Amino acid sequence: NAGVTQTPKFRVLKTGQSMTLLCAQDMNHEYMYWYRQDPGMGLRLIHYSVGEGTTAKGEVPDGYNVSRLKKQNFLLGLESAAPSQTSVYFCASSYSVLIDTQYFGPGTRLTVL
Protein backbone atom coordinates (compact mmCIF):
# COMPACT_ATOMS: atom_id res chain seq x y z
CA ASN A 1 0.00 0.00 0.00
CA ALA A 2 1.26 3.47 -0.88
CA GLY A 3 -0.76 5.02 1.95
CA VAL A 4 -1.40 8.72 1.38
CA THR A 5 0.29 10.32 -1.61
CA GLN A 6 0.36 13.97 -2.65
CA THR A 7 1.03 15.60 -6.00
CA PRO A 8 3.05 17.72 -6.65
CA LYS A 9 5.84 17.76 -4.04
CA PHE A 10 6.91 21.32 -4.82
CA ARG A 11 5.36 24.21 -6.71
CA VAL A 12 6.09 27.87 -7.27
CA LEU A 13 3.22 30.12 -8.33
CA LYS A 14 2.88 33.77 -9.15
CA THR A 15 0.24 35.83 -7.38
CA GLY A 16 -3.12 35.33 -9.05
CA GLN A 17 -2.34 31.96 -10.61
CA SER A 18 -4.43 28.92 -9.85
CA MET A 19 -3.52 25.35 -9.11
CA THR A 20 -4.87 22.07 -7.76
CA LEU A 21 -3.19 19.83 -5.23
CA LEU A 22 -4.07 16.16 -5.45
CA CYS A 23 -4.28 13.78 -2.52
CA ALA A 24 -4.83 10.07 -3.01
CA GLN A 25 -5.19 7.26 -0.47
CA ASP A 26 -5.41 3.52 -1.05
CA MET A 27 -6.57 2.52 2.43
CA ASN A 28 -10.32 2.78 1.76
CA HIS A 29 -10.59 5.58 4.31
CA GLU A 30 -13.83 7.50 4.63
CA TYR A 31 -12.41 10.71 6.09
CA MET A 32 -9.92 12.99 4.38
CA TYR A 33 -8.38 16.30 5.47
CA TRP A 34 -6.28 19.15 4.15
CA TYR A 35 -3.98 21.01 6.55
CA ARG A 36 -1.46 23.76 6.11
CA GLN A 37 1.69 24.00 8.20
CA ASP A 38 3.31 27.31 8.94
CA PRO A 39 6.28 27.96 11.27
CA GLY A 40 5.23 28.41 14.89
CA MET A 41 1.57 27.67 14.14
CA GLY A 42 1.39 23.92 13.98
CA LEU A 43 -1.01 22.45 11.43
CA ARG A 44 -4.31 24.13 10.73
CA LEU A 45 -7.28 22.45 9.09
CA ILE A 46 -8.38 23.97 5.77
CA HIS A 47 -11.20 21.66 4.62
CA TYR A 48 -12.23 18.11 5.29
CA SER A 49 -14.52 15.40 3.95
CA VAL A 50 -16.41 12.68 5.80
CA GLY A 51 -17.21 10.72 2.67
CA GLU A 52 -17.37 10.70 -1.12
CA GLY A 53 -19.24 13.73 -2.39
CA THR A 54 -19.09 15.62 0.93
CA THR A 55 -16.87 18.51 2.00
CA ALA A 56 -16.83 20.91 4.93
CA LYS A 57 -14.88 23.96 6.06
CA GLY A 58 -12.14 23.78 8.61
CA GLU A 59 -10.38 26.48 10.57
CA VAL A 60 -8.82 28.41 7.66
CA PRO A 61 -10.91 27.78 4.50
CA ASP A 62 -10.76 31.20 2.85
CA GLY A 63 -9.08 31.20 -0.57
CA TYR A 64 -9.35 27.42 -0.99
CA ASN A 65 -11.88 25.04 -2.50
CA VAL A 66 -12.03 21.26 -2.36
CA SER A 67 -13.73 18.37 -4.09
CA ARG A 68 -14.15 14.69 -3.25
CA LEU A 69 -15.63 13.11 -6.37
CA LYS A 70 -14.02 9.75 -5.66
CA LYS A 71 -13.55 8.15 -2.26
CA GLN A 72 -9.81 7.77 -2.74
CA ASN A 73 -9.09 11.33 -3.93
CA PHE A 74 -9.34 14.72 -2.26
CA LEU A 75 -8.45 17.80 -4.31
CA LEU A 76 -7.46 21.18 -2.92
CA GLY A 77 -7.76 24.15 -5.24
CA LEU A 78 -6.37 27.65 -5.09
CA GLU A 79 -8.31 29.85 -7.50
CA SER A 80 -6.16 32.97 -7.20
CA ALA A 81 -2.99 32.35 -5.23
CA ALA A 82 -1.73 34.94 -2.74
CA PRO A 83 1.65 35.19 -0.98
CA SER A 84 -0.16 34.42 2.30
CA GLN A 85 -0.83 30.95 0.92
CA THR A 86 2.86 30.13 0.85
CA SER A 87 2.98 27.10 3.10
CA VAL A 88 3.47 23.36 3.32
CA TYR A 89 0.22 21.52 2.65
CA PHE A 90 -0.53 18.13 4.12
CA CYS A 91 -3.30 15.76 3.29
CA ALA A 92 -4.45 13.16 5.80
CA SER A 93 -6.99 10.39 5.95
CA SER A 94 -8.64 8.27 8.60
CA TYR A 95 -10.77 5.15 8.40
CA SER A 96 -13.94 6.42 10.02
CA VAL A 97 -15.36 8.27 12.98
CA LEU A 98 -14.73 5.17 15.09
CA ILE A 99 -11.00 4.98 14.36
CA ASP A 100 -9.29 8.27 15.04
CA THR A 101 -5.79 7.76 13.66
CA GLN A 102 -5.02 10.15 10.84
CA TYR A 103 -2.39 9.14 8.32
CA PHE A 104 -0.52 11.98 6.68
CA GLY A 105 0.96 12.35 3.24
CA PRO A 106 4.49 13.65 2.59
CA GLY A 107 3.37 17.21 1.94
CA THR A 108 3.45 19.78 -0.85
CA ARG A 109 5.66 22.84 -0.46
CA LEU A 110 4.00 25.78 -2.19
CA THR A 111 5.60 29.16 -2.72
CA VAL A 112 3.56 32.08 -4.04
CA LEU A 113 5.62 34.98 -5.35
Partner 1 sequence: QQQVKQSPQSLIVQKGGISIINCAYENTAFDYFPWYQQFPGKGPALLIAIRPDVSEKKEGRFTISFNKSAKQFSLHIMDSQPGDSATYFCAASKKEYGNKLVFGAGTILRVKS
Chain residues that interact with partner 1, rule: CB under 8 A? 4, 31, 33, 35, 40-45, 48, 50, 56, 58-59, 90, 92, 94, 97-98, 100-107
What is the Cα–Cα distance from 18 to 106, expressed in whole angstroms?
22
CB of 15 to partner 1, least distance (A): 26
What is the Cα–Cα distance from 95 to 28, expressed in whole angstroms?
7
Cα 69 to the center of its chain, rounded Å: 14
- Quick one: 41 or 82, whose CB is closer to partner 1? 41
Reading across the β-sheet that carries 64-67, which strands appear in turn? Answer: 4-7, 19-25, 73-78, 64-67
- Quick one: 90 or 112, whose CB is closer to partner 1? 90
- Quick one: 32 or 75, whose CB is closer to partner 1? 32
CB of 65 to partner 1, least distance (A): 18
CB of 33 to partner 1, least distance (A): 7
Whether the bond between 39 and the residue before it is cis, its omega within 30 degrees of 0, is no
Asked whether 19 and 13 are in contact (CB, 8 A), the reply is yes
- Quick one: 17 or 86, whose CB is closer to partner 1? 86
